[in-house]
Structure 1
C-alpha cells in the first residue's frame, strides 16, 4: 500500500478545511387531515415554500378523509422511517393520535400541531393555531348584531363529535351570539333552545348540503346557519337555494379561504372568521429547521391570528371588507 506523502496529506487537509462536508438537509414532515380541502392545500403550499427557502426537505401525507386517524398514523411512521426530525400535524382524532405522537417523541422527533390541538394539548411539543373559540365568538357577535333582535332558529353544521376545534368554534359562536355555551364540558357541543338542528358535516361540501337538507326537513323555519367551515357553508347554501330559502337565511362560517371570501362577496356567506394556515405551516417549518440545527425545541401555544371578514359592516362590530379578505386569504404573500 502506498502511503501519501506529508505534502499530499497537508494538501488534502487544506482542501477538507476549504470545502467541509455539507450537513444533511433537515427533513420535516407535514401531515394534514386531507389532501383535498383547500385549507390544507394552502397549508402544504406554505410549508413547501418555507422548506425551499430554508434548504429543508419536506415530506407530506394526509388521511383519506377528515377523521382518518389510521391514515395519519401510517404517514407519521413512514416519515420517521424516512428521517424526519420534526413532524407538523393537524390531528384528525385529537385523542387517538397521541400514542403515535409519543412513539415519535421517544425517537427524538419534535411534533408540532397546526390548526387543531390534541386532547390534551400538551401531548405535542407546541401548537401553532388560530384561537378557534375566538373565531366562533366573532361570527356569533356579527350574527347577533345583523339579526337586530329578530327571533332566531339556528342550525349548526358541525365537524364531528368529540373534535376540539369543532367544539371551540361551535361554542364560541353561541357565546358570541349571547346564548349559553360555557357550561359544555370538554369537547361537547352546547345546545341552547334556539338551536333547532345540529348535524355533522365533516367539513365537506356534499355532506354539508345533505346536513342542511335534513335540518330543513326537521325545521323549515331556520333563519340562521353556523357552519364549521366554508365548504360546509357552500353545501348549506346549495340546499337553501334548492329549497328557495337562500334569501331569508343568514350563513356565518370560519376559515376565510380564497373561495370562501368569494362566497362572502357573492352574498352566500354573511361573514367569516379568517385564519392563516400558510403562516401556521411556515412557522412550523422554521421551528423544525431551528431544531435540526440547534437542538432547540419550541413549546406552548402560538396564536396565528383571526380576522372577521364581512361583506356588509354592522354597527358596533369590528370587521374588514372582502377586499382585505381577498388580499389576505389564508396568509398568501
Structure 2
C-alpha cells in the first residue's frame, strides 16, 4: 500500500553547522554506518500507534539502525523505565513519544545526562521543565494548536444550524496533543457566538472509551449536534454511540476530528463524519533524516514541524488507499 511519508514544513528554520549544534551542551553523535537506536513507544492500542511503530521498524534496516523498541502499554511509569533500560543497553540515540508532558521529564533528563541525543516524536514535554535544543535535541511533530483551529474553522464555515451545541472528547489528560488541540479548537470556536461547548471529557484517545463517554454525555446533553474528538478513534466510538441512540451522524450530528485514519476517511465517504485533519504517524523516515543531519553537525531546529492535510468529502476518496 502506498504511504505518504511526513513532509517537513516549508517554514523550517535554516540549518547551521557543528559549532552551533552543540553550543547548548547537547551530546554529539558520531557519523557511522550503524546506530543502536531506542524507540520507546507509549502504547499500541490503536491504529495510529501501531502505524507509528511499524514506520520505525520499516526504517531501521535502510537507516542502519539496530532498533530496540519497547511498548509501555499506556503507562508513563513503564515508559520511563523502558528508557532507563535502553540507556543501560547503551543506545546511541533515543526517539521518544512521551505519553504525558510532565511524567516523562525524568526520562528526558536521564538520557541527556547519559550523553544520548534524544528526539521527541509526535508529542512533546512540558517546555517549562525541558527545553528543545537544551535538554533534548528537537521535537518532531505537528502543530496541535493549529490542528484544533483548522477543525474549528471548518466547523464554523460548514455548520448550517442556528445554534451549535458541542461535546468535546479530549485525548489523554496531560498529553501535549490533548492540551493543544483543546486550546486551538476552543479559542477559535469561541469567536462565533453560535457555538457553545456544553461538555468536555477525556476519552483517552481510545475508541471504546470514546463510545462510553459519548453514551454518558448524550444522556446529559441530548441536544448535542456537534462532536469534536481529539482523534479519529474517539470519533468512531462517538459515531457508534450516536447510532445506538438512534441519532444520525453526519445528518443531525456533525462529527469533526483529527488524525486521518482509514476508518475516518471511510466515515467521511459514508457521510458520517465531516472533516479530519491529518496527523501522520509515519515518523520513521523523518527520524532517520533528522538523526543523520544531527550526526553531520547540522543545527537542528528545536521544532521540526510537519505539514498536515485536511480531509473532507471533496478529497477523502482520493487518499483512503494511503491511509492506515
User: In the TM superposition, what are the counterparts of 1:73-84 in structure 2 within 5 Å?
Assistant: 73-84=80-91
Shift in CA distance, 46/59, structure 1 to aligned 2, threshold 3 Å: same
| Alignment partner, residue 285 of structure 1 | 288
Tell me the distance in 2 between the aligned counterparts of 1:327 and 1:110: 36
Gaps of 5+ in 2: 1-31
> How far is 1:305 from its partner?
0.9
Matched, 1:138 2:150: yes
Shift in CA distance, 173/325, structure 1 to aligned 2, threshold 3 Å: farther
Tell me the distance in 2 between the aligned counterparts of 1:146 and 1:42: 31
Shift in CA distance, 324/108, structure 1 to aligned 2, threshold 3 Å: farther
In the alignment, is the contact (CA less than 8 A) between 2:170 and 2:178 conserved in 1?
A: yes
43, 46, 50: which one pairs with 1:41?
Answer: 50
| Alignment partner, residue 116 of structure 1 | 123
In the alignment, is the contact (CA less than 8 A) between 1:125 and 1:297 conserved in 2?
A: no
| Alignment partner, residue 240 of structure 1 | 242
Shift in CA distance, 269/32, structure 1 to aligned 2, threshold 3 Å: farther
Shift in CA distance, 213/179, structure 1 to aligned 2, threshold 3 Å: farther
In the alignment, is the contact (CA less than 8 A) between 1:116 and 1:165 conserved in 2?
A: yes
Instruction: Pick 1 or 2: higher relative contact order, CA cutoff 8 A, min separation 6.
Output: 2
In the alignment, is the contact (CA less than 8 A) between 1:272 and 1:308 conserved in 2?
A: yes
Matched, 1:196 2:198: yes
**Structure ID, larger Rg:** 1
User: In the TM superposition, what are the counterparts of 1:79-228 in structure 2 within 5 Å?
Assistant: 79-120=86-127, 122=131, 123-148=135-160, 150-179=162-191, 194-228=196-230
Matched, 1:309 2:311: yes
Shift in CA distance, 84/51, structure 1 to aligned 2, threshold 3 Å: same
TM-score of the pair, normalised by structure 1: 0.79
Aligned residues: 285
> How far is 1:107 from its partner?
1.0
Matched, 1:30 2:33: no
- Quote the RMSD (CA, aligned, Å): 2.2
TM-score of the pair, normalised by structure 2: 0.81
Tell me the distance in 1 between the aligned counterparts of 2:195 and 2:188: 16
In the alignment, is the contact (CA less than 8 A) between 2:34 and 2:64 conserved in 1?
A: yes
Tell me the distance in 2 between the aligned counterparts of 1:164 and 1:206: 21
